Amino acid sequence: TSNLPAGPATAGRALQSEVQRVYEQTNAAVVHIDGEVAASPSSPGGRGIGSGFVWDDQGNIVTNYHVVADAQTLLVSFAGTMHHTAAIVGVDPSNDLAVIRTMRDNPPAPLALADSDELKIGQFVVAIGNPFGLDRTLSLGVISALGRTIASPDNRFIGEAIQTDAAINPGNSGGPLLDLDGRVVGVNTQILSESGSSAGIGFAIPANTLARVVPSLIAN
C-alpha cells in the first residue's frame, strides 16, 4: 500500500467528475456550423466551419459573427445528426455575435448563462466546440485574465473579454466557454498565436454581453 497522502488524488478525481458531468449535461446543445462561401473575383470560395450553442427552445443558436459573415448557405448539425439548414436572425459585428435559427423539431435544451461579472482569475473553465471540424471536442483550462480588449470584425474593439488557456483552435469560434456548473461564461472567439493554432491564449466574449445583445438580435 502507498503512504502517499490521498488528498491530491481525491481532488483530481473530483475535478475529473465535475468536468465529465459538465460535458454530459451540455454537449448536446453545442452545434457544428458549416458555411458555404461562394467564389468571387477576390476569393476562391470554399467551406468554413465554426461552433454555436442552443440559446432557447425556439431554435435560436448563438455563434460568432465572423463564422457566418460571408456564408451564402448555413448548415447546422447536432451531435452527429443530419444537417439542418439555418438562416441568420441578426448580427452584431461590433461584438462579433450572431444569432441563427434552424427549423429542427425539439432542439436540445438551451444552455444557461452565468454572471460573467462574478468570474475569478484561476477559475476552471471548459470549452466545447469543433476545432478543425472535430465535433464536440472538450478542452479544460482556467480563466487567465479578465477585462482584455480585443479587435472586432468591423475594426472596433470588444472590451471586458475573458482570456483563457483552455485550448481554442480554428473551428472553436462561436462555441461556449463553460464554468463547472455547466453555465456559459462566454463565447470563444479569438486566439493569439503565431502558428494559427492554440498557444494557450484564447479570448471569449463575456456572458453579460450576450445577455445584453442576443435578446435584441432576436427581437429586432
Cα separation, 84 vs 189, whole angstroms: 23
Query: What's the confidence (pLDDT) of residue 123?
Result: 97
Query: What's the confidence (pLDDT) of residue 1?
Result: 43
Across the 220 residues of the chain, what is the mean pLDDT of every consecutive 10-residue run? 60 91 97 83 71 95 95 89 89 97 90 97 97 94 97 93 96 97 97 82 97 96
Q: CA 208: distance to chain centroid?
A: 14
Beta bridge partners of 61: 54, 100
CA distances to 29, 94, 121, 141 from 201, in Å: 25, 21, 14, 11
| Host H or E run for residue 163 | strand 157-164
Report the residue count for the chain.
Answer: 220
Query: What's the confidence (pLDDT) of residue 134?
Result: 93
The residues annotated as belonging to the active site are 66, 96, 173
Q: CA 121: distance to chain centroid?
A: 19
Whose cell is 479587435? That residue is: 151
3-state secondary structure of 189: strand
